[in-house]
Amino acid sequence: MKRKVNVIGVGMTKFAKPGASPEYYEMARDAGRIALEDAGIEYREIAQAYVGYVYGDSTCGQRAVYELGLTGIPVVNVNNNCSTGSTALYLARQAIEGGLAECVLALGFEQMEKGALNSKFNDRETPLGKFAQVMNDVQGMNGAPVAAQMFGGAGREYRWRHGTKKETFGKISEKARRHAANNPYALFNQPLTLDQIMASDEVFDPLTRFQCCPPTCGAAAAVLCSDEFAAKHSIAKPVYIAAQSMTTDYATSFEPQSMIKMVGFDMSRSAAKQVYDQAGLGPEDVDVVELHDCFTANELLTYEALGLCKDGEAEKFIWDGDNTYGGRYVTNPSGGLLSKGHPLGATGLAQCTELVWQLRGTADKRQVAGARVALQHNLGLGGACVVTMYRND
């Protein structure tokens, strides 16, 4: 029988630009300590650790958790591109749910260099590089960073289908900066006007520079446990994982040729449906969402993939303000990847941290009033998508 999985501790570091961060193991140590302190437990009570990162040696996970203690526990290193942090969370959740452990740490970090992500896509000898080449061949794209071509191409395809204005994508970035102004952990928390966003350098139509997430350094962590462990430590009414699903690419990612499908739309839609079915809830029951806005185009597509609005209605959803405070959903109250930053291994756990704060009612100026159900979406090309629902009731 599956066991309930609680999130009793979360923590993250303030994200930083490449070259301006501490060493990866120092960031990981700080995030881990914050999460343990938040949970009110000692590291010696952790039975397993799942540690995510994309850039680094094969046992960087050990180097990171050894900063917290040397207790001989299993340490599993995780790499699933941009969905790495949520994949670590997924494995940690399985360990608790399946009765393999009582208390587990999920930890993610990244120490990136400027241009690192683009070089990863451009290396044609890697699986991801070959994947990028397939995408390029679809529409003969070249010149811009490959990741921008992928998601910009998807945004371009959406525009062709629905006649969407370029400014609609810019509105997403305007919202992200407005939310991030209240987030001390965000890399960019200075508001921008729509005019400023649209006037920034074009990267790949319809994307401008302020519509692309920056490479970032940082760390985040979560402590998961069983009901029995929570009761033993007098932890009352913790936030819990109500449902979670991971999907990978379907045949439809590549046939018929569609940039929207290639960047993970079907993975996202399928994972979301599985989560709604598991939880017995629908998108209408969700209060707050942290989704993978690596580019504004992906946030727009994800509104429809998650069922926050109907297909073809994302533009109206955005201009009606249904993606922010006072609307139907508050999406990315943290500022998202666009403003908070995107340290690949940490992103999924930073999303988790924000949503746990929201459901506890401790998100300060970002607080979504009365939030009880939260949805998380974390996407990695190559590919994997993890969707997680949290509740506090």
Residue 314 placed within a domain:
yes
pLDDT value, residue 122: 55
Instruction: Label residues 373-382 b or e (16+ Cβ within 10 Å = b).
Output: bbbbbbbbbb
> Average pLDDT of 154-175?
97
Residue 286 placed within a domain:
yes
Q: Report the length, in residues, of the chain.
A: 393
Instruction: Label residues 117-142 b or e (16+ Cβ within 10 Å = b).
Output: bbebbbeeeeebbebbeebbeeeebe
**CATH number, residue 387:** 3.40.47.10
> Average pLDDT of 315-320?
98
Domain that residue 282 falls in: 5-115+214-391
pLDDT value, residue 121: 52
- Tokens 């990981």 correspond to what residue? 28
Q: Is 225 a catalytic residue?
A: no
Give rounded-to-5 percent helix, strand, coil for the chain: 45, 20, 35
- How many domains in the chain? 1
pLDDT value, residue 256: 82
Percent of the chain with pLDDT over 90: 90
pTM: 0.94
Tokens read off for 299: 């946030």
- pLDDT category at 138 given cuts 50, 70, 90 is very low
Given 60, 82, 217, 385, which residue is catalytic?
Answer: 82
Q: How many CA atoms lie within 13 A of 384 on its CB side?
A: 16
Answer whether 104's CB lies under 8 Å from 96's CB. Answer: yes
In 86-177, at which residue ranges do the beta strands (DSSP E only) sit?
103-110
Residue 15 placed within a domain:
yes
Higher pLDDT pick, 114 / 118: 114
Residue 199 placed within a domain:
no
Would residue 193 be called left, alpha or beta, if left means φ above 0 and alpha means ψ between -120 and 50 degrees?
beta
Which of these ranges, 37-46, 248-257, 319-328, has the smallest mean pLDDT?
248-257
Residue 284 placed within a domain:
yes
Residue 130 placed within a domain:
no
Residue 146 placed within a domain:
no
Q: Is the pLDDT of residue 139 over 50?
A: no
Residue 162 placed within a domain:
no
Higher pLDDT pick, 231 / 119: 231
